Amino acid sequence: MARIVQTFSGGMDSATLLRYLSRGGHELRTIGFDYGQRHKKELQFASKMAADLGVPYTIVSLDSLTCLLSESALTNADVAVPDGHYAEESMKITVVPNRNMIMLAVAIGYAENLHYDAVAIANHTGDHTIYPDCRPAFVEALDVAARLATYGGIRVLSPFKHISKTEIVAIGNAIGVDYRDTWSCYKGGDEHCGTCGTCVERQEALDEAGGVAVPAALDQVSAAMNEALT
C-alpha cells in the first residue's frame, strides 16, 4: 500500500489507472489541469469518476501558462486539431511543450506537501511516437530528479509504460471501468468527433481490446509498479 497523487485527465488511460490503483488499496489523491485546452470538458468527466471512487480530486489552473505554450493546437484556438492517427507527423501540432513535466512537477510538490510516497501517470507505449515526454526514459529520468528534489524521496510511477492503449482498455474492461464515463476527443464538442487522433486511437483500443491476454498485461503493470516502489 502506498500513498499516491495521480495526474487525472478523465481520459481512458488515467481512468483505468485510477481504478487499478484504487483496487490495489492505495491511498489516493488526484489532480487535473486546466491549461487552456480546448477539451476542458475532460475535467468534468474526471471529477465525476473520482467522486464515484471516493478519491479527492483537485483542478489546478495553469491558465497563465497558455500564452507561453501557445504553439499547440490544444491550447491555441487559431491552430486546427488535425484528423488522423497518432503516429502521423501531422499530429505533432497537438504536443503541448513539456506538458507532462509541468504536471508531474506540480503533482510531486503536492505529494511532498502531503508527505505521500509517489505520483503516478498513465503514459503508455502508443504515446511515445510523438510525445517525447511520454517516453519511459523521460519518466525514469524525472523519477531520479523527483527523489533528489524532495525530502520524502517522492517516486514517479508509470505503471502503463510498457503496455499499449489496447492493453489498458482490456485491463479496464476486466476491472470494471465503464469507458462511457471517460472523455478523449481533443475537439471538446458535444460528442466524440470520431476523426481526431485521440478519437481514432480510442475506437481502435475499444475494438481490439477483446483480443488481449489480460493476465500478461497485468503482470507488466505490476512489474512497473514494483520497480518504482522498491
Measured distance CA(45)–CA(150) in Å, rounded: 31
Residue position matching grid coordinates 510525445: 131
Closest by Cα among 143, 41, 42 to 101: 143
93 near a second copy, rule: CB under 8 A: no
Minimum CB–partner distance for residue 97 and a second copy (Å) = 4
Beta carbon nearer to a second copy, 42 or 133: 133
Task: Rule CB under 8 A: choose which of 17, 62, 185, 217 binds a second copy.
Answer: 62
Beta carbon nearer to a second copy, 108 or 217: 108
Task: Rule CB under 8 A: choose which of 15, 65, 212, 224 binds a second copy.
Answer: 65
Task: Rule CB under 8 A: choose which of 23, 44, 56, 68 binds a second copy.
Answer: 68
How many residues of this chain interact with a second copy, rule: CB under 8 A?
A: 44
Task: Rule CB under 8 A: choose which of 13, 112, 117, 167 binds a second copy.
Answer: 112
Enumerate the known binding-site residues for Zn(2+): 185, 193, 196, 199
**Residue numbers at the binding site for a second copy (CB under 8 A):** 31, 58, 60-65, 67-71, 95-102, 104-106, 108-110, 112-113, 132-133, 135, 137-138, 141-142, 144-146, 148-151, 154
